[in-house]
Structure 1
Amino acid sequence: MNYEDNLLFKVAWFYYMENMTQQKISQQLNISRMKVVKYLEQARNQGIVQFKIKSDGEKRINIEQTLMHKFGLKHAYVIPTVDSNVNESIAKAAAQYIEGHITPNSYINVGYGDTVSRTINNLTFSLNVPVSLVTLSGGVSYYTSSIAGTGKIDPTRSNPQIYFVPSPLIVSSKEMAKGIWQEKSVREIINMAKLAHMTVVGIGAVDETATIFRNNMISRNELILLKMNGAVGDILSQFYDKNGNKIEFELHNRLISTQLNLLKNMRNVIGVAGGPSKIQAILGALQGGYLDALITDEATAESLVKLANE
C-alpha cells in the first residue's frame, strides 16, 4: 500500500507538473503505460490532483517528518526526483509551497542563485495576490527580467513590487563594502528584510556548478582554497563548513549580502535546493540552523536522512 501511494503521487507529479508523456512516465517508473493511465484516473478520482497536487504519499511524508525531527524544521516538502533539471522541479514546488503560505500584501525576502530565480519566475506567473519582494544582497537585478515580462503576458496581473539592495554583490575592498553598508538606502532595505513574512534562499555547492562560480565572481583557485578550508556550501554567497559554521574567507569582507547570523533571526526561512552535488551543502545548512523549511527532491532527502542517522 505504501509503495502504491508513493507511485500514485509520482505519476501525478510527472504528468501534471513536469508535463511528461504517459509513455515517458512508464519508462521512468518501469511500469506499463496502461498502469500510468490507471494511476492518473485514480489520482483524479481520489482528489489527489486538484488545482495543485496534494502531497500525501506515505513514504514521502515519513521522509519529511524525519527531516523535520532531525533538524528542527517547521516544514519539509519533498518532491519526486526527476532525471534532469532538478532546479526547475524544486522551483515549481517552492512556488506552490509559498503560494499556500502567504497572505495578500506579504513581503518575501529573496536570496541569490538559480533555483531562487526560477522560484520567483514560477511564483510570479501563478500568484493571484499582491506581494512585495525584498532582495537580501546586491547584484541580483537579473531577477527583474522574468518578473517584468509577466504583465506583458497577462496585463490583468499586477507585478510584485521589488526592493533592491542598490549595490553590486561583491566590491573591490572591505573599506568600500563598509562604506556601502553605511548608506541609508542600503540600511533601509536590510531593515525591511528583517520584518518580511518569509525568506527564500538557495544553497550552493562548493564546485563548478555553483552560481557564484559560474557568474565568475570567484576564481577556480579561490574555489580550491575554499575546499581546503573545509567549505561545503554557501548561502547568500557566504561559505560554511559541514557543521554550518561560517569559514574565514577574504571574499566575505567584500560582500554586500545579509549576514548569516541575521538570517537565523528572520521568519520562515525556506531553503530551495536538491541534487547529488548539493547534499553536503544542504546538510551543513541544516546543521547550522539556518533554515525553517526545506524544499528538495526525494533522492536528496533520503541521502540527508541517511547521513543524519549515521
Structure 2
Amino acid sequence: MGGQTRRRNLAQVSGENAVIQVAWMYYEDGQNQQEIAAALGISRATVVNYLQEAREKGLIRITLAAPAFTTHRLALALNHRFGLQGSYVIPDEGTGTEEGFLRVVRGAANWLPDLIAPGDRLGVAWGRTVYELAEMVEPARIEDLAVLQLVGSMATPYGFTAEACSTRLAQRLGARCLNLHAPAILSRAVLAADLREEPILKAQLDQLETVNKLLFSVGTATAESHIVLSGLATPADLDWYVGHGAVGVICGRFIDAEGRQLPGPMEDRMIGVPLPRLVGLEMGILVTPGLDKVEATRAAIRGGYVTHLVTATSVAEALLAAP
C-alpha cells in the first residue's frame, strides 16, 4: 500500500521536484539507484537521468574536504621546501591542459572560503584564473569582507578585466567591492602622476594600503601572456623587461627570478598597487594551474608574495624537482 502511494505521488510530481526527490534519496538517504527505482516505480535509467539533471542544474554540490589535498604528500613537501603555510595539490594525471586548468581553479574556489575571515581586505589581481575562480566559488556571506581591485582597468579582448574579477568575487562572497576608476597604464608618466593625485583616485589608491590578504595568479613573461595580449605591455616593453631578467608578472608588474620588481619603461605610467606593498602580507594565495608558470611561481615564492599555493600534481613535482 505504502509503495503504491509513493509511486502514485511521484507520478504526480514533475520537473524539478521529481529531480530533487530522487537526489535526496540518493545523496541524503544513501539508497542506491535500483532501490530508488523500485521504491518510486520508475526505471533505473530514469533515476540516472534525474541525478544527471540535478548535477547539471547545480542542485547537487559534491566537494572533497580540504585535508584530502592539503595533507597530500606533495602539499607537505611544498610547504617544507618553500616555507609555505599551506598548499592544496590537485591530481591532474591524464588530464588535458584545459581540464587540468579547471581542476586547479575549482580547487582554489573550494579552498578560498576557508582562508578568508570577517574583516579581511582581500586584494585581487586579474586574469582568467582569478575570473574563473570567482565564477566557481560558492556564494557565501563573509562579514565585513572587502575585495579590492589591485590593477587599473584595461581594454582587453577577454571578459576577465581587472574590475570584472574583483566585482564578481565580491558578489559571490557578499563583500564590499573597492575598484580603481582609472586605466591600468597611461601614455605619459606625467599624466599618470597627475591622475594619482586626483582626490577620488588618491583615496582609492590609499585603500590599497589596507590590504592584508592577496589572491593572484602569476603571469608569464612571454608574447602569449595576458599582459601583452591585453595591450597593457607592448612587444617592445616585453623585450626590454625580458632582456633585463623578467621571468613573470604580478599585478601587471614584471619580476625577476628572485621575485624583485623590475623598474622599467612602464612603471611610472601605471596605476595600481606598488608590488612592495604585497610582500609579506598576512596571506598571499597563489593559484598556479599549469606547467608554463613554474619558473614564475618559483620567483613569486622567492619574492615573499606567497604563503599559500594551489596547484596540480605535475606543477608541484616540477617545482620540487628544481635545485
TM-score normalised by L of structure 1: 0.72
From 51, 55, 64, the equivalent of 1:53 is 64
What does residue 69 of structure 1 align with?
80
> How far has the Cα of 1:159 moved from its partner?
4.8
For residues 102-138 of structure 1, what are the alpha-carbon distances to aligned partners after superposition, in whole Å with 9 as ceiling and x for unaligned?
2345432111221111122222x43244543111121
> How far has the Cα of 1:271 moved from its partner?
1.1
Q: Which moved more, 1:139-148 or 1:271-280?
A: 139-148
| CA-atom RMSD in angstroms | 2.6
From 239, 245, 249, the equivalent of 2:264 is 249
1:230 & 1:168 partners in 2: Cα distance? 26
What does residue 139 of structure 2 align with?
126
What is the identity, as a one-letter code, of the residue corresponding to 1:115?
Answer: T
What does residue 78 of structure 1 align with?
89
**Counterpart secondary structure, 2:146:** strand
Contact 1:195 1:266 in 2 (8 A): no
Contact 2:186 2:270 in 1 (8 A): yes
CA separation of 1:239 and 1:126: change in aligned 2, threshold 3 A: same
What does residue 307 of structure 2 align with?
292
What does residue 238 of structure 2 align with?
223
**Counterpart secondary structure, 1:302:** helix
What does residue 276 of structure 1 align with?
291
CA separation of 1:60 and 1:205: change in aligned 2, threshold 3 A: farther
Question: Sequence identity, in percent?
Answer: 22
What does residue 116 of structure 1 align with?
130
For residues 260-298 of structure 1, what are the alpha-carbon distances to aligned partners after superposition, in whole Å with 9 as ceiling and x for unaligned?
110014321111123121111111111111111111111
TM-score normalised by L of structure 2: 0.69
What is the identity, as a one-letter code, of the residue corresponding to 2:234?
Answer: S
**Counterpart secondary structure, 1:244:** coil
For residues 70-113 of structure 1, what are the alpha-carbon distances to aligned partners after superposition, in whole Å with 9 as ceiling and x for unaligned?
22221111112231224432221122111112234543211122
What does residue 142 of structure 1 align with?
164
**Counterpart secondary structure, 1:295:** strand
> How far has the Cα of 1:219 moved from its partner?
2.3
Structure number with greater Rg is: 2
Contact 2:237 2:266 in 1 (8 A): no
CA separation of 1:158 and 1:269: change in aligned 2, threshold 3 A: closer
**Counterpart secondary structure, 1:242:** coil
Whether 1:236 and 2:258 are equivalent positions in the alignment is no
2:209 & 2:317 partners in 1: Cα distance? 33
What does residue 41 of structure 1 align with?
none
2:103 & 2:127 partners in 1: Cα distance? 15
1:267 & 1:240 partners in 2: Cα distance? 21
For residues 226-264 of structure 1, what are the alpha-carbon distances to aligned partners after superposition, in whole Å with 9 as ceiling and x for unaligned?
222211001011111111122232012211121111001
**Counterpart secondary structure, 1:68:** helix
1:222 & 1:199 partners in 2: Cα distance? 26
CA separation of 1:147 and 1:109: change in aligned 2, threshold 3 A: closer
What is the identity, as a one-letter code, of the residue corresponding to 1:127?
Answer: A
> How far has the Cα of 1:64 moved from its partner?
1.5
Contact 1:134 1:189 in 2 (8 A): no
For residues 17-62 of structure 1, what are the alpha-carbon distances to aligned partners after superposition, in whole Å with 9 as ceiling and x for unaligned?
xxxxxxxxxxxxxxxxxxxxxxxxxxxxxxxxx9521244599622
**Counterpart secondary structure, 2:97:** coil
CA separation of 1:268 and 1:221: change in aligned 2, threshold 3 A: same
**Counterpart secondary structure, 2:186:** coil
Contact 1:79 1:296 in 2 (8 A): yes
What is the identity, as a one-letter code, of the residue corresponding to 1:79?
Answer: I
CA separation of 1:276 and 1:235: change in aligned 2, threshold 3 A: same
**Counterpart secondary structure, 2:257:** coil
1:59 & 1:267 partners in 2: Cα distance? 19
**Counterpart secondary structure, 2:72:** helix
How many residues matched?
A: 251
Contact 2:139 2:173 in 1 (8 A): no
Contact 1:76 1:294 in 2 (8 A): yes
Contact 2:124 2:165 in 1 (8 A): no
1:158 & 1:297 partners in 2: Cα distance? 25
1:98 & 1:58 partners in 2: Cα distance? 13
What is the identity, as a one-letter code, of the residue corresponding to 1:84?
Answer: T
